[in-house]
Amino acid sequence: MGFRFRKSQSFGAFRLNLSTSGVGMSVGAGGFRLGLSSNGQLYNTVNIPNTGLTYHSNLLRSINTPQASNSYQQGINLLGFSIDENKYGNSDGCLTFLLWVIAICLIPFVIGVIMIFFLVRRSRSPKKVVKAHLETAISNFYKGNFEGAVATLDTALYKVPLSPYESDIVDLKGVCLYYLGRYVESSDCFGKALRLNPSSERLKLLYVETLILKDDKIDCPKIIELYEDLLSRKYDERQVLLTGNCYYLCENYDKAISYFQKIPKNSDLFLKALQGIANSFIGKNQIDLAIETLKKAPLRTSNPDDDLIDIMFLLGNLYEEKGEKEQAKQLYQKVYTQSIEYEDVAQRLQGLDT
């Protein structure tokens, strides 16, 4: 059995509560009391005399970071976004502790009211407002309500414009817009967050990706400069692949191939790299080299993934262009058995049968 200690001492309308969990206090008379528990919870209690009826309620409830518990969260993530608890804080700080000491040592009722007033005002501080909006937005995100999350973050930006927390708000807004497919707005958000936090490699990567996604007419030199800067400080296979894609879009095929060839065979990105190399050879009008590249893929597997299906279809196209219809047909049939609606594979099969 655990030991518990609890003692109350009254000073007129003021009551001091001591227990093993800490110190609490309350003020009031005539059946009504307003107090602060040992764990920092503000509450009020109403007793109806001679009836035994009591009403108790918490006035300020703490907000915890939402936990994703529904099945919708599977397959989606916040793209690396997180709330820095040290930035927003959870404790009441030195001033609250000082008020505790003053409340115990001086006139209890007056100082108690001042302390409660301070805590109420503190709960409405910009830090608390921003953190509450961020947590609500994250909760909406995990429920799949991306529009609701964006609306919540817009409200936060309206309430605390140009605050030191603006970077977090526009960052999370960019993540939500990314999942909505609104890449132009998402790119603007990541760009703004990057200007506010220029050392973030994560924001650089997301900014470049949305620049690529939002428009075919991208500023390739600018994007390549950002990627080269990232790779010079931290090697990452995904960044290598995307840098190769940028060079491909700039029609610098040799440079693109050199990046794609850096992806090892045991990498999850190897099949994407093969496609990149083949497309670069196609851009150079070297069809035979493109075919030899794609033949390095495990074409005989019985359960191809999306990347392998893409390779089979592309290789079928190349064989068809060369007039090797039987090989093209075999590849199209493999694609068709996996997805009858893939691109125009059904029409291509019909064309080869006629």
Bigger pLDDT: 230 vs 194: 194
pLDDT, tens digit, 9 for 90 and up, residues 55-89: 555 554 443 434 443 433 444 567 667 766 666 65
pLDDT, tens digit, 9 for 90 and up, residues 98-108: 555 555 555 55
Write down the pLDDT at residue 218: 58
The per-residue pLDDT of the chain, averaged, comes to 74
Bigger pLDDT: 343 vs 215: 343
Distance, CA of 119 to chain centre: 31
Closest by Cα among 222, 163, 201, 202 to 81: 202
pLDDT, tens digit, 9 for 90 and up, residues 252-298: 899 999 999 999 999 999 999 999 999 999 999 999 999 999 999 98
Average pLDDT over residues 183-207: 83
- Mean pLDDT comparison of 1-10, 207-216, 322-331, highest-scoring range: 322-331
Write down the pLDDT at residue 172: 86
Write down the pLDDT at residue 283: 94
Backbone angles phi, psi at 309, to 5 degrees: -65, -40
- The residues that bridge with 35 in the sheet, in sequence order, are 26, 43
Using CA atoms, how far residue 47 sits from 16, 44, 59, in Å, is 18, 10, 17
Write down the pLDDT at residue 62: 41
Bigger pLDDT: 207 vs 273: 273
pLDDT surpasses 70 at 42:
no
Q: Which residues contact 30 (CB under 8 A, 6 or more apart)?
A: none
Closest by Cα among 176, 93, 175 to 127: 93
Number of neighbouring beta carbons within 10 Å of residue 181: 9
